[in-house]
Amino acid sequence: MKRLATAAFLAFLFSIPLWVSSLYVLHVLIITGIFTIAAMSLNLLLGYTGQLSLGHVAFFGIGAYVSSLVSLGFAVHLAPDWLVTLDPQPVWLAIIWAIAISGFCGWAIGRISFKVRGAYFVIVTISFAEVVRLVALNWDELTQGPMALNNIPPLTLSIPGLFEFSFIGKVPNYYLVLMAAIIAYVVIARLVNSQAGRAMIALRENEPLATSVGIEVTRYLVLSAVVSAAIAGMAGALYAQYVQIVDPNIFLFIYTVTMVIMVVVGGKGTLAGPIVGGLIFGLLPEALRSLEIRPELQWVAYGVLMIVIVSILPSGIVPALARWWTDRAARAPSQRDQQTPA
């Protein structure tokens, strides 16, 4: 049943470009997909290890910047007479670099910030994202600062002499993002259902108890941070090669908030949660835009919605639906029992 639903959902997603011809709609879906991937990666930290990271956009942005810089090439002075240059590299290599470097940053930040918990952890992660944003803004030589990196080449796959294919335009990018989302989902699902995933959930539920049965806290937290950051970096790289321009505004806090809302509303700690949340909050702004609602009001609505959801559905939409479903399934036979008189 569940498999069937998944297959139907995937078939639906794959079929969309066949019957949707509006480029605008496809564009919205691509951006939604990219942010859903980012939300999925955040869910690994927030939902499964229970650590609220509000610096997640840093990894997304680092992924975007690394992939752009590697594919564009750069020349930068690390010291007055120490010039580091890199010639433009193929985009697939750039994306791999983006994933690797984001993952490395996740490792470094994880090592540092998992020393503290709760509110302090939140503040460290916010600070980290702000520092990265200010570096991107001020290190003109590398990042062009507010001038932004332009003309980022699209992903091109080729086997020399045999075939060459560039992901230009909406439909190829749609499938690219969809494939990336599936890969990210599978990676996260495998991780969560493995021994490491169970260790993470144990940590979330009761850290002292988990420690007492021999779970190495920091190791699993850092592992989840690395995977999470790497996937966010991949999302960032896809974003960069799709929109072909990256500026420091990519690090704005509001994107982190968007990801957090997607995860919390959809249901943290569930595999489907961020997808549901991502689809809702990716498509909702466009729906509101067609109603010609001012963007400020839209954000006010987001804020209020977040308060309401956290207050009445603290675990999010997906767990609530699942509970409703099992309740109904459980009630159905018992009602039949009552109807037949003894």
Partner 1 sequence: MLGGIYALLGIGLTLIFGIMRVVNFTHGELYSFGAYMMFMFVMLLHLNFFLSLALAMALGVALGAVIEFVLLRKLRGADIDTTMLVMIGAWIAMQNLEQLAWSGVAKSIKTPFRSTPLVLGGLSVAWSRLFVFGVALALIAGADAVVDRTRLGRAMRATFQDSAAARLMGVDIDRVYLSTFALGSGLAAAAGALLGPIFVVTPGMGDLAALKAFAVVILGGLGSIAGATIGGFLLAFIEEMGAGYVSSGYRDAMGFLLIILVLIVRPTGLFSRKERIG
**218 touches partner 1 (CB under 8 A):** no
**123 touches partner 1 (CB under 8 A):** yes
With CA atoms as reference, report the closest residue to 66 among 131, 149, 154.
149
Sole window of 107-115, 156-164, 192-200, 274-282 interacting with partner 1 (rule: CB under 8 A): 107-115
CA 210 from chain centre, in angstroms, equals 27
Task: Please name every residue paired with 269 in a beta bridge, in sequence order, or none if there are none.
Answer: none
CA dihedral 250, 252, 257, 258 (to 10 degrees): -30
Residue 100 CA to residue 110 CA, distance in Å, equals: 15
CA dihedral 293, 295, 297, 300 (to 10 degrees): 140
Closer residue to partner 1 (CB): 68 or 125: 125
How many amino acids of this chain bind partner 1 (CB under 8 A)? 42
Closer residue to partner 1 (CB): 22 or 311: 311
With CA atoms as reference, report the closest residue to 21 among 11, 31, 10, 29.
29
Instruction: Look up residue 163 and give its two tokens.
Output: 């075939």
Sole window of 12-20, 35-43, 123-131, 173-181 interacting with partner 1 (rule: CB under 8 A): 123-131
Per the CB < 8 A criterion, the answer to whether 174 and 109 are in contact is no
Residue 269 CA to residue 43 CA, distance in Å, equals: 6
**207 touches partner 1 (CB under 8 A):** no
Residues 131-160 interacting with partner 1 (rule: CB under 8 A): 131, 134-135, 137-138
Residue 179 CA to residue 33 CA, distance in Å, equals: 10
Contacting residue, 13, 28, 100, 126, with partner 1 by CB under 8 A: 126
Per the CB < 8 A criterion, the answer to whether 274 and 316 are in contact is no
Minimum Å gap between C-beta 21 and partner 1 is 34
Closer residue to partner 1 (CB): 130 or 286: 130
* Matching residue, tokens 């994202």: 129
Residues 279-318 interacting with partner 1 (rule: CB under 8 A): 294, 296-297, 299-300, 302-307, 310-311, 314
Minimum Å gap between C-beta 268 and partner 1 is 9
Contacting residue, 5, 78, 93, 116, with partner 1 by CB under 8 A: 116
Closer residue to partner 1 (CB): 74 or 253: 253
Residue 99 CA to residue 96 CA, distance in Å, equals: 5
Minimum Å gap between C-beta 173 and partner 1 is 30
**112 touches partner 1 (CB under 8 A):** yes
Contacting residue, 96, 257, 293, 322, with partner 1 by CB under 8 A: 257
**229 touches partner 1 (CB under 8 A):** no
Closer residue to partner 1 (CB): 113 or 173: 113
Residues 39-68 interacting with partner 1 (rule: CB under 8 A): 50, 52
CA 316 from chain centre, in angstroms, equals 17
With CA atoms as reference, report the closest residue to 44 among 211, 201, 239, 253.
201
Closer residue to partner 1 (CB): 287 or 304: 304
Closer residue to partner 1 (CB): 168 or 257: 257
